[in-house]
Amino acid sequence: MFKNKIHHVGIIVPDESQVDFLLSLMEFERGNSVYVKEYQAKCIFGKGEGKLLEFIIPDPESKLAQFNHGLGGIHHFAIETPDIKQTMEYLDKKFEIDFIEKESVVTEDLLINFLSPSMTRGITIEFVQKNN
């Protein structure tokens, strides 16, 4: 069913200076960035092969701003799937899985949806489908 490929690990940080620091520390380059209005957050990806990090900078009023009591940190693991709608239907049928959104959220180049952390004992898993 799935490609079983980790697409990225999402990390919540307070601001772009923290992104720049972490990218420099790991000797990564800054990749593309997108603003996801549904989650009120700017997302910046590491650039290059094997750079599987997404840095999430939530707006102050975003529900993500209070993640880990406002300290940020690792937020989710994203799994790439060829068909997110089919994945959602399959998981719901097999495990009665709840997703956070009824329909996938469309970003600049991805369709995304998250499993409810209550279904996975607190581990947030995002499914992504390339949208290009």
Residue 4's pLDDT is 73
Residue 62's pLDDT is 96
Can you say how many angstroms the Cα of residue 103 is from the centroid of all Cα atoms in its chain?
16
Helix or strand run (H / E) with residue 85: helix 84-95
- Provide the β-strand partners of residue 110: 130
pLDDT tens for 43-56 read 999 987 777 999 99
Residue 47's pLDDT is 87
Given a contact cutoff of 8 angstroms between Cβ atoms, the answer to whether 110 and 131 are in contact is: yes
Given a contact cutoff of 8 angstroms between Cβ atoms, the answer to whether 64 and 39 are in contact is: yes
pLDDT tens for 72-126 read 999 999 999 999 999 999 999 999 988 999 999 999 889 999 998 888 888 999 9
Which class for 14: exposed (0-12), middle (13-18), buried (19 or more C-beta within 10 A)?
middle
Confidence of residue 3 (pLDDT cuts 50, 70, 90): low
> Domains plus CATH for the chain?
5-130 (3.10.180.10)
Residue 124's pLDDT is 93
CA angle at 8 for the pair 35 and 64, rounded to the nearest 5°: 45
Prediction pTM value? 0.90
Q: CA–CA separation, 75 vs 10, rounded Å? A: 5
Confidence of residue 67 (pLDDT cuts 50, 70, 90): very high
Given a contact cutoff of 8 angstroms between Cβ atoms, the answer to whether 102 and 38 are in contact is: no
